Amino acid sequence: MEILKYTEAHKNFRERLRGFLVKEVTPFADQWERDKSVPKSAWKKMGQGGFLCTDVAPEYGGRGGDFLFSLIVAEEMTRTRQTGLSTLLHSDIVVPYISAFGSEELKKKYLPGCVCGDIVTAVAMTEPGAGSDLAGMQTAAVEEGEEVVIDGSKTFISNGLNADIVVVAARDPALENPYEALSLYVVESGTPGFTTGRRLEKMGMWSQDTAELFFSKCRVPQKNRLGDKGMGFLMLMQKLQQERLVCAIMGVTGAEYILEWTMNYCKQTSISGKPISKSQAVQFALVEMATDVKLGRTFVDKLVADHMEAKDIIVETSMAKYWTTDMLNRIANRCLDLCGDFAMSEKCPIVRAWRDAKVMTIFAGTNEIMKNIAAKFMGM
């Protein structure tokens, strides 16, 4: 029994997206890895194809699609062997803050560009001294007349160099309660006082531009605040369910891709005249991994269905985020072992997948934080 019900529109969308990626993305993955960035033209092509921000309402240029369109994009993008064109971050994590909490003026100003690819987005929460702990955030936002003056710094910001607008989390230093002091602001690139720092060198996800951001007396209009003042923490909590679900989707899909490639490799590679896949030890390893992947897929698909019904699944998405990304790393590591000497070469696709997998246990809240969240909601 299928948990998710795909319509013909969904199936046609997947087929069209898959054809687009084969032509416009996958052939350039290796070059983007070497360049450690993705050209803006790739974003515009994605937008022109109708593959960005699929849930945005038609009045702002979107298709008004359900979350299954986002799921399809997540699955197909994960199989492109690149991470720089981080459309999932843009479409399903950052833009929803504007769609859900932005004023009508902000929606009309920014959403059409986000949909067509003219505007690339980023979200700035992590700081040098505050990662998963939002209460420890120090970036300040002080009101002065009709403006807000932002001072502080952010780090490990994906799309940090390519971003045209950034959703910045900052706090009012006059308020003691950190959960009531946080607000979200849309800051445009080129705003005086807002500068991007160096491109960060990372273990994996080389093609994704990850940077430091600096704010020094950066003035933005108060109307660029999302929602009411002091509601930033609640808005972040509300949207983190979808962010963590997207991470879980990426974890499962990544594991499926790695396992599929490894199974084919084991069938096609022979030792002493016999395919590796005929070894009982290899068979056991592949079956065990396939079981994990199927369990993860079933769990995630059920959560997607629950999310589409607007159910509160904070505990479950926290569980899924940590389990699927841990599982992805286990499978990447074990598949590398099965590749033998070939795993020493960059020509082996699993090498890049192994590198890219590690950070999945860290961003969107570390897996330890996911367990803390689940424990608290479970009354522990």
Query: Which residue type occupies 320?
Result: A
Residue from 283, 290, 288 nearest 252 by CA: 290
- pTM beyond 0.85, yes or no: yes
pLDDT of residue 237: 84
* 71-108 pLDDT, tens digit each: 999 999 989 989 999 999 999 999 999 999 999 999 99
346 belongs to the catalytic site: no
Helix (H) or strand (E) segment spanning residue 238: helix 232-268
338 vs 11, 286, 331, CA distance in Å? 34, 9, 10
Q: What is the rounded distance in angstroms from the CA atom of residue 267 to the CA atom of residue 264?
A: 5
- As a whole number, mean pLDDT of residues 233-254 equals 92
Structural domains of the chain ordered from first start: 8-119 (1.10.540.10), 123-228 (2.40.110.10), 233-377 (1.20.140.10)
Catalytic residue among 33, 76, 243, 256: 243
H-type alpha helices, 311-366: 314-338, 349-358
CA-CA-CA-CA torsion sign (256, 259, 262, 264): negative
Residue from 174, 43, 80, 187 nearest 123 by CA: 187
* 107-120 pLDDT, tens digit each: 999 999 999 999 99
Q: What is the rounded distance in angstroms from the CA atom of residue 133 to the CA atom of residue 340?
A: 40
214 confidence band (pLDDT: 50, 70, 90): very high
Dihedral (Cα; 228, 229, 231, 236), 10-degree rounding: 100
Residue from 20, 22, 2 nearest 12 by CA: 20
- As a whole number, mean pLDDT of residues 172-182 equals 88
Specify the DSSP class assigned to residue 357: H
